[in-house]
Structure formats: C-alpha cells, structure tokens
Structure 1
Amino acid sequence: METSIRLNNKKVDIGNLMLNYNYYGVDDTSPTVILEAGYGMGSEVWGDLVSELSTIVNVLVYDRAGIGKSEAGTKPHHSKQVVENLKTLLQIEEIKPPYLLVGHSIGGIHIRQFAYTYPELVSGLILVDSAHEDQNDLMVPHFSDDVQEMYYGQFVVEGGLADFNSSLNQVRSARRPLKDLPVHVLSAGVKDDYHSEKTYQIWMRLQDDLLSLSNNTKQVIAKKSNHFIQNHEPKLIVNSVRDILDQIREEGANE
C-alpha cells in the first residue's frame, strides 16, 4: 500500500499559539498513530520510523509548544497543557479518533495523561523507554553529583524543571486502571553511560511498574538499544503498532 500524504509540514493556530505538524494518511478507516517525542525534542527525532509506519497506518507527528517549528506560547509546558494543545489541534484539523499513542521518555507521561483525560479516544499506548512519575524520588538521588547536575540542568528548553515536575505529579494524581487498553512497554536493554548499575536497576523496576497500567500489557526489552529505541531498533515500535492494530481489528470483527 502506498502512502498518501494528506497534510505535510503544516502549522495550525490552536488559539494561543501555532503548532507545526505532519500528517500521513493511509485511509479514512485506519486509526491514527500519534508520536509524542522526548523532552526538548522535535518531530525529527522519530527519523525513518515515520515513513515506515505511514505505509500501514495514519500517522501524526508534531512539535510541542516551544520545540522545532512550533511557537512557545505563554501557557505552561506541563502534561495537562500538552494534552489540551494536542486535543485542540486534532479537533481543528478534524483528525478523528481512535488514536494509538506512542510516547518516548517524557512523551510517555504525556500520552498517559491523554489516555486518563480522554480514554474514549484512545485505542492503545506504546511507551518507548518512558519516563515514570516516581523517577525523581526513587532514581535520581542515586545518580552521581555530576549526573544529577546534568539531569536537572537539562530542563531549559521546553519549559523548566517546574513544568517537568508538574507533569510527573499530574500523571501520578491521574493514574488509574486503564481496563483492557492495549499497553506496550518498550524498555532499553542497553545501559546508558549516565546510569550506574543501581540506577539502571531502579529504572528497569519503574519500567516493570508500567505493566500494571492495564489488564492488557506487554513488555519488550530492546536488547540492542539504549534510551533511544527508535534509533536503534525502530522495528520494535513498528511491531507493537502492528500488534495493537491487529487487536483493534479483531475486537471490531467480534462486535
């Protein structure tokens, strides 16, 4: 099936700022995969994954407020605002649900917040080495002083540390069972340089905790990947999308 690009590199006024996005359409009946990048990263971080996914499913990739070609605006950059910005974009551009949400790092927090806020619009979650609401409490204190300084010093691009902490607190407060929603947890199997053995073990325990988000979860350890699974093993993300699409279609056939 060849990709039909309906909208490409478009900016839309969502009322308080201009958001930049790309949309790749397969057909009118396909769910739309929405890719939510990590902190401070634009849509280009997904690389060739977009073109591969867009041969099988509708894909939306965008720059959050203050990133890439999107305006920063004057509102906060925490998860609740990210969700409302995205929801408004989808409504204005008439990109209909269901949405299969894929989130990397802090993007995983944002897509969970979306699913808690608008569960009726979401057909699945794919968490790509996702951030966890308890990482600042359980993991970061065990970083070396240099790594802690680097960690906290990174929050200058997309809002600040207060927005990041707000996002973690918001998803912690919103957390509740997602029933039978398909949730795939893709976790890095290669330890990044900033991790010690102890902090990596804590990170993996936090990844394991994400398996309790619904009654329909699956974990994949990306054995050749560090935090950026989309760069090292993008096929794992494609496979998860295919698996969840198959579930959606099977459930639809049985209704």
Structure 2
Amino acid sequence: MSPRASHQLVTLVAAVVLGAGAIACGSDDEGVSDKEVFGDSTKPDAASRQPVIEDHFDVGAHRLYLKCTGSGSPTVVYLHGSVRQEGDPGHERAARVPSLLDGRRRVCVYDRANVGRSDSVPGRLTGKDSARDLHALLGSAGIKGPYVLLGASLGGAISDLYAAAYPKDVAGMVLLDSTLPTYLDIYEQLFPPASGPQPGEWKGEAEHLDRLATFRQAGEVQGQRRKIPVTYVAAALSLPPKIEVAIRRAQRAFVARFSPGRMIVVDAPHHMAPVIPERIAREVERVIAAAKRR
C-alpha cells in the first residue's frame, strides 16, 4: 500500500473508531435544563472580567503560543488534533467555538510544539510529552484550574492523558470525535498490519508527534475510572456491520469509565468545529453544569 493510500485509510479508520457506537449511550438532553446549562446571566460583571492573554510562554526547553479570552470558571482549554503537514492549522481549528463561549467562560487555545506559532523542537514527541507541555504552559501563564478540556481528534487522547496525569485539575471533558485508547486493537483486528500507523512515521510529519506511541500511552490509562462529566461528540458514519459492532463496543467501554459519561452522534464530519460550533459550545456548557452539581 502506498504512503498516500495508507494515510487515507488511517484517517478513515480514525474517524470510524471515533465516530460510531455513541448512538446507544445517552440522550441529547440528559434531564439538564437550559437554565442549568446557561444560568441566569450570560456575562460576568465588570469587576470579575479577566484580561485577554496572547503570548508565548516558557514550558522548559521551548515556548508555546497561548491565547485566552473571556472570564469565568472553570476555564475551557481547546486541544487541537494532530498536525501532519507544514502549515496545517492548530488552535485555529477551534473555529468559532471560543467566541461562542468567552462571553461567560475563560477560554484558552494553544499550539503544541512544532505547530503554528509555537516553537519547533527536535526529535520525537508523544502524547505524554504534550500533556506535560500543556500543564507547564498553563502554569507559566498563570491560568489556574479547574479546567474543562475540549479535545478534538488526537487532542482527545491527549486530553485523556492529561486528566490521568493531573486529575485534580480537570473538572470535565468534551471530546470531539476523539481518538480512542483502543484504536490500535480495533485496527489490528480489521485491517492489514502494514496499512496502520508505523514506527518512525512521525519523522515525516510536521508535528513530530508519534501517534503510535500516543495510542499505546492512552491505552495504559484505559482501565482508570474517573468521577468527572465527559461528553463524547461522535460524527455520524455509515459503516459495515462488523466494524460498527466493534466500534460500538469500544465506545461503550470508553464512556463507561466516566461518571457521568455521555455520548451523542451529530450530523457533522470528523473535523466538526467549523460545522457545528453552536452545538459544541452547548455541550461544553452542559459538562460545566454537570461539574458544578457534583
């Protein structure tokens, strides 16, 4: 299989592993009213407003770009998906979601190492490296927790790793068609080994993030159960029955780790933030409402 065909298959299966199976888990409303989700006031008062932050911050051996707008707690932190090609967007993939939230929430977006406005670093990176970088970045910028992590695609796997490493910092998560810890298991069962992620593949990708190692790291925390609200927003897909069964089983196992855990399917593609920003903002507010009830 050619590298291009392999990349296309990996992308498709990533969306497959992330997208289906959520149908049976949770309703759209889950008994949460609009008043609980959005509260009585949509904007903080002038005295409690926080300044806009946009700068590069030291995380040790390099600096990362961070932008924070709005006011309110908990702070929402957006984690973008993997960046394979030079010039591909990082934090910009959040689209209009931050502007829909920052009237009532503190919202932060950032670029990981080797992405966008952040510094380039040599060598191989993993999801755990990215989680440590984010923790250092938020500390360096003085952005205090708790956080609600909004992780898209591979950013969802990094969100899971962050929550495992710093559980007291995380109030909840919203995962947008997130890469699953069981990605490799499902892939190996259904597709030829040579067509999957390969060792050393990261060397040819802009971010230098070893996805194979990151999937394995995410698998190491698969058994951890956490009492935080998590919503998994899945892209609707039409799949062969054998694949759907495997994916649904994996999705149910994943969301069952969290209390409360919720899944919804939306009529949107894998990279959904530009398509349904209002719905994503609403799901973030629902997770915040659930976290505040705990």
TM-score category, normalised to shorter length: 0.7 to 0.9
Match in the other structure for 1:178: 225
Q: Assess if the C-alpha contact under 8 Å between 2:95 and 2:277 holds in 1.
A: no
Are 1:6 and 2:54 counterparts? no
Q: CA deviation at 1:73?
A: 1.6
Identity percentage of aligned residues: 24
Letter in 1 for 2:96: D
Per the alignment, residue 264 of structure 2 pairs with 220
Conservation of the 8 A alpha-carbon contact between 2:149 and 2:173:
yes
For 1:236, the equivalent position in structure 2 comes to 279
5+ residue gaps, structure 2: 1-41, 84-88
Give 1:93's match in structure 2, choosing from 141, 151, 154: 141
Query: Offset at 1:145?
Result: 10
Structure 2 equivalent of residue 64 of structure 1: 112
Match of 2:78 in 1: 35
Answer 1 or 2: which has greater strand percent.
1
Deviation for aligned residue 1:45:
0.6
- Please give the TM-score of this superposition, normalised by the length of structure 1: 0.83
Q: Could you tell which deviates more after superposition, 91-100 or 205-214?
A: 205-214
CA distance 1:232–1:204, change in 2 (3 Å): farther
Distance 2:290 2:187 in 1: 34
Q: Distance in 1 between matches of 2:273 and 2:247?
A: 18
- 1:207 is displaced (CA, Å) by 2.9
Q: Which has the larger radius of gyration?
A: 2
Query: Aligned match of 1:211 in 247, 255, 260?
Result: 255
**Relative to structure 2, which stretch is displaced further, 99-108 or 163-172?**
163-172
- After superposition, the Cα gap between the structure-2 partners of 1:2 and 1:179, relative to the gap in structure 1 and judged at 3 Å, is closer
Aligned-pair distance for 1:227? 0.7
Q: CA deviation at 1:197?
A: 6.4
Instruction: Say which of 198, 203, 206 aligns to 1:157.
Output: 206
- Aligned in 2, Cα 1:179/1:15: closer, same or farther, shift over 3 Å? closer
Distance 1:203 1:235, change over 3 A: farther
Residue 131 (1) aligns with residue 176 (2):
no
Write the deviation string for residues 187-241 of structure 1: whole angstroms up to 9, x where unpaired. Answer: 11145xxx7665465444433332122131011111x112122122222321221
Residues 157 and 205 of structure 1: is their aligned pair in 2 closer, same or farther, counting only changes over 3 Å?
farther
Aligned length: 241
CA distance in 2, matches of 1:144, 1:109: 23
Kept after mapping to 1: 8 A contact 2:151/2:174: yes
C-alpha contact (below 8 Å) 2:71/2:106 kept by paired residues: yes
Larger RCO (alpha carbons 8 Å, 6+ apart) = 2
Give me the whole-angstrom Cα distance separating, in 1, the residues matched to 2:75 and 2:215.
Answer: 26
Normalised to the residue count of structure 2, the TM-score between the two structures is 0.73
